Every structure is written in structure tokens, then in C-alpha cells.
Amino acid sequence: MAKEGVEKAEETEQMIEKEPSKEPAEGGGGDGSHRLGDAQEMRAVVLAGFGGLNKLRLSRKAMPEPQDGELKIRVKACGLNFIDLMVRQGNIDNPPKTPLVPGFECSGIVEALGDSVKGYEIGDRVMAFVNYNAWAEVVCTPVEFVYKIPDDMSFSEAAAFPMNFVTAYMMLFEVANLREGMSVLVHSAGGGVGQAVAQLCSTVPNVTVFGTASTFKHEAIKDSVTHLFDRNADYVQEVKRISAEGVDIVLDCLCGDNTGKGLSLLKPLGTYILYGSSNMVTGETKSFFSFAKSWWQVEKVNPIKLYEENKVIAGFSLLHLLFKQGRAGLVRGVVERLIGLYNQKKIKPVVDSLWALEEVKEAMQRIHDRGNIGKLILDVEKTPTPLMANDSTETSEAGEEEEDHEGDSENKERMPFIQ
């Protein structure tokens, strides 16, 4: 077992790929970059092709420079989301061409400004959305996707902030119009979005939050959710036992048969919002069977029935809103309101654990196994921890969303949780 751990630790250390003709010259930048001739290079996680964990590599790439209207950011931390796992598998509509650098959010320090950029200075601490390419030491992204962060917000918190809290806020307040006295059902209550939803609901008086999560997460999140159920239990009956009419808002990241269950729980004038389809992910690679099963289980929506029952069904994709539908201005207003709540100490990102770029496979395995409570963060400056490589580089055939894995408690305790 010790020999196996050493071998896997060595595999982690050897993930950085170099071509013999591209060794860094002496005098490489002390900022983590390396000068190769007249060009600088950086480390970046590269997805060589769609599939399993073996498609991920830490490589050296040419460092980008900001174009007109862009900022160059020296990255300190990156967020890891379930959508990144689906991208790796190619389990999304119109996937981009590989090889590519994954990741959609990061935090860091402004290092250079492109032409026409106003309102920012070199040295500003920022968080940003990126249309891929976030998992690298340096990124360039348009100024409309960049936001200054409070002085007391850490880079790991900032990397955990944009996707989770903007998604949660816009679903609750922009789509569902959450108000005093309402009730909300959120799946995966222990995840990054689930915890953001719970915190935001606490800013509105008398909101009841129903949540589903694996049993091993209940102790950690019990104070953030009014009523907590095992995700494998019959949560429909549990909710109706407490609230016979059901709930006002259902937030569903699972899809499949949970769509019909969610619609059945809605009160009149209630809103069901689908914002993910993680039930399609079971094994390490894309599964046509899982996709077909999830699609088949989705209740076919009858508009006449919605009309008769006074129910609303909606969808929400923050990435589409930003990068395909041009709503960066709307999102900026939301970010400003969220930062105000953060400054008032009403919300705070929950960081599950920090991982080095070299440990991206292990980090992705953890989110695949639904073992996280809050957000997983790739810390660009973190040194790899050999212990992490001992157990998590092997393929895991995880079951349904947030399946409880008996016997995994030892592995979970060995992870570097952020207290």
C-alpha cells in the first residue's frame, strides 16, 4: 500500500509535461512564469480530449496577453464546478474542440490592461468569469466579466463566489421572486450552490428551506437548512408531511425523475427551476445509457396542465446568460448586491478544500463522488500533497447524485478541509 502511494505521488509530480527543446531559460520570472526565448510560458491544466481523468494534464502553454477591452489576471485560485466534470466528459451541448483549458471562474491580481480598459489598475484584487481557460496561472478576459473583491475576502473565497452565489441569487430573486414567508426545496444542499441558496434564503424573513443531501453531510449543514432529508429517501412524502400544499420554489440540479417530483410539490403560483442535469453523470466517462435514462424519466410538460394548476417551469444557465446572451450588465448588478451582502456579513462562501493544479484529477474525483461540502478550489500556488494522490486517482463508478458511499469516511477525513 505504501509503495502504491509513492507511485501515485510520483505520477502526480510528473504531470507537468515539457518538451526537451522548451526548457525554461535561467532567470525565469519569480512570479511563476518562465521565459522561453522571447515568449513567456505558464502552467495550465489541459483537457487533451473528452473522456476520463486520464485526459487531464498539467502542461506549459504560451502566456496570453490582453486584447482590447481585456484584463490580464495573475491567477491565485480557480473554482471547480460540476459543469467542469460534464465538460471533461463531453456531456454538454455543442462541446468546444479539444485540447482546451477548462474552468469558468477565478480570482487573482490584475497584471496588465488592454486598450480602452477603464476602472481597473494593475495590482487590483479581482474575481472573474472566463469562457474556458480559467485553470491556468494567467488568464485574459473581457472587463465586463471582472469584479473587484473586498479587502477582507480571500482569493479562495473569491474563486468560490461568482458561479455559486450569482446562480443562487438570480434563481431565487430574478426568476422565482423569493419573498417573505415562502418555502424553497433545493437538491444537493451540501454543494456550493446549495449552500449559497441556504445563506441567501436566510436574508429574507421566515423563509423555510427544505434540502436533500447524503446523510454524511447532514451534521455539517444542518444549521443552514430548516428541514434536511436523505437524498435517497422519499423526499416528496417528507415535504408533504411537513407542508401539505408543498413548496413555492423548487431548485433542481439533478433532472431525470426529479423533474416530475419537483413539479408535483409546487404550490399554486410556484416556480420549478432546472439549472443542471447531474443525474446524467454516473461513471467516469460519458454514458449514453445514463443520458437516455435521465431523458426518459423527465416528465413531459403539458402547457395546458401548467395553466390549469397555476405553476411555472423555468431553466437557468449562468454561462449562457453571460457568454451567449449578452447579459453581463445584469450579472454585474447582481454581483454588486452580493458583495454588499458579503460586506454586511450576511453571506460567506463555503470552501470545502484546496487543491494544487497538479491535483486536479483528485479534486475532480472528489466532486464526481459528491464528497464535497461547499466549493472545491484549485490553489495555483499550493504545493501538491502526496497523501491526496494515494486514493483518488483510481476510477470510481459513482452511483446516482450524492450517493452515500459506505466505507469512504476514512478517505474523506484525510482531505485537507478548510475550517
Q: What is the pLDDT of residue 376?
A: 96
Q: What is the pLDDT of residue 229?
A: 95
The mean pLDDT of 216-245, rounded to a whole number, is 93
Residue 401 pLDDT exceeds 80: no
Min mean pLDDT across 42-51, 90-99, 271-280 is at 271-280
> Which H or E run contains 4?
helix 2-13
Average pLDDT score over the chain: 83
Query: What string of DSSP letters covers 106-165?
Result: EEEEEEEE-TT--S--TT-EEEEE-SS--SBSEEEEEGGGEEE--TT--HHHHHTSHHHH
Residue 309 pLDDT exceeds 50: yes
Residue 369's pLDDT band, with cuts at 50, 70 and 90, is confident
CA distance linking residue 286 with residue 403, whole number of Å: 18
Q: What is the pLDDT of residue 165?
A: 98
Most confident option among 175-184, 274-283, 359-368: 175-184
**CB environment 309-339: b (16+ within 10 A), e (fewer):** eebbbeebebbebbbeeeeeeebeebbeebb
Residue 407 pLDDT exceeds 90: no
C-alpha cell at position 257: 425523475
Residue 371 pLDDT exceeds 50: yes
Q: 7 vs 238, which has greater pLDDT?
A: 238
Min mean pLDDT across 231-240, 313-322, 372-381 is at 231-240
Residue 110's pLDDT band, with cuts at 50, 70 and 90, is very high
Q: 226 vs 395, which has greater pLDDT?
A: 226
Contact between residue 163 and residue 320 where contact means Cβ atoms under 8 Å apart: no
Q: What is the pLDDT of residue 7?
A: 43
Contact between residue 121 and residue 148 where contact means Cβ atoms under 8 Å apart: no
For the chain, how long is the longest CA-to-CA vector? Answer: 73
Q: For residue 225, with 0-12 CB atoms within 10 Å meaning exposed, 13-18 middle and 19 or more buried, which class applies?
A: buried
CA torsion sign for 9, 13, 16, 22 is: negative
Residue 419's pLDDT band, with cuts at 50, 70 and 90, is very low
The mean pLDDT of 247-268, rounded to a whole number, is 91
Q: What is the pLDDT of residue 387?
A: 52
Encoded amino acid at 85, one letter: L
CA distance linking residue 250 with residue 211, whole number of Å: 10
Residue 32's pLDDT band, with cuts at 50, 70 and 90, is low
C-alpha cell at position 144: 465586463
For 280-298, write each residue's pLDDT tens digit: 555 555 445 454 545 544 5
Q: What is the pLDDT of residue 261?
A: 92
Q: What is the pLDDT of residue 332?
A: 98
Per cent of the chain over pLDDT 90 is: 68
Residue 30 pLDDT exceeds 50: no
For 133-159, write each residue's pLDDT tens digit: 999 999 999 999 999 999 999 999 999
Q: What is the pLDDT of residue 276?
A: 83
Where on the phi/psi map is residue 180: left (φ > 0), alpha (ψ -120 to 50), or beta? beta
Per cent of the chain over pLDDT 70 is: 77
